[in-house]
Chains A and B, each alone.
Chain A
């Protein structure tokens, strides 16, 4: 089983609609996670962190379900500019500190 798994999509979303997708993780010891956004041919950019209490930032809400070992990202009132690939990221311990394990990404396409 992969450490971090995501539905690759694409999720085709009408502008203004709400879209949500999950990411499952295998390491039950993981305490926190991240959602990154990656545009085509660009580097990933941190969208938000996810802790046990969840996190909300404007139209974006992230939640963590430890019992089922998944995190979710919900986007409300989708904008055309939300079209991107969303990467679920879990830190893992390495010899030189924590490393990041990236999921395969979920592609979201917001259409007019």
Chain B
């Protein structure tokens, strides 16, 4: 089956620093990747849609200058949380949609738990 990896799985950083999270599709090419955020006891909220070779599409209320997304290849998308603050502490999950198969099918990465001190 399709495998998506994320790195790092866990990161703790100081307030004001930037953190980069990588999302890779390991055995398939992903034209579209999605970035979600999940706060404790809440559901996944879509932050942005990342398309290879073009700018990401952000959901309403998500600051594009704070959450920088780069999708430079068909197997890699990165999310950079710039000038992170404690309220950015969350579980960040990416998913990838392949170039074939159902248009609704997404494969999820294992998530990155960010803690900002």
Residues of A whose CB lies within 8 Å of any CB of B are: 32, 34, 41-46, 87, 91, 94-105
Interchain Cβ contacts within 8 Å, total number? 50
- Report how far A31 CA is from B85 CA in the complex, Å: 40
Residues of B near A43 (CB, < 8 A) are: 93, 108-111
Whether A97 and B43, one on each chain, are in contact in the complex, defined by CB atoms closer than 8 angstroms, is no
Residues of B whose CB lies within 8 Å of any CB of A are: 32, 34, 36, 42-46, 49, 51, 57, 91, 93, 95, 97, 103-106, 108-111, 113
> Looking at the complex, which one of A91, A103, A105 makes contact with B104 (CB distance below 8 Å)?
A91
Whether A104 and B43, one on each chain, are in contact in the complex, defined by CB atoms closer than 8 angstroms, is yes
| B contact face: mostly helix, strand, loop, or mixed | strand
Whether B43 and A105, one on each chain, are in contact in the complex, defined by CB atoms closer than 8 angstroms, is yes
> Looking at the complex, which one of B34, B43, B51, B95 makes contact with A87 (CB distance below 8 Å)?
B43
Whether B42 and A96, one on each chain, are in contact in the complex, defined by CB atoms closer than 8 angstroms, is no
Whether A44 and B44, one on each chain, are in contact in the complex, defined by CB atoms closer than 8 angstroms, is yes
Whether A96 and B44, one on each chain, are in contact in the complex, defined by CB atoms closer than 8 angstroms, is no
Residues of B near A104 (CB, < 8 A) are: 42-43
Among B44, B51, B113, the most chain A Cβ lie within 10 Å of the Cβ of B44
Residues of B near A100 (CB, < 8 A) are: 34, 46, 95, 104, 106
Give the distance to chain A from B93, nearest Cβ to Cβ, in Å. Answer: 5
Residues of B near A41 (CB, < 8 A) are: 91, 111, 113
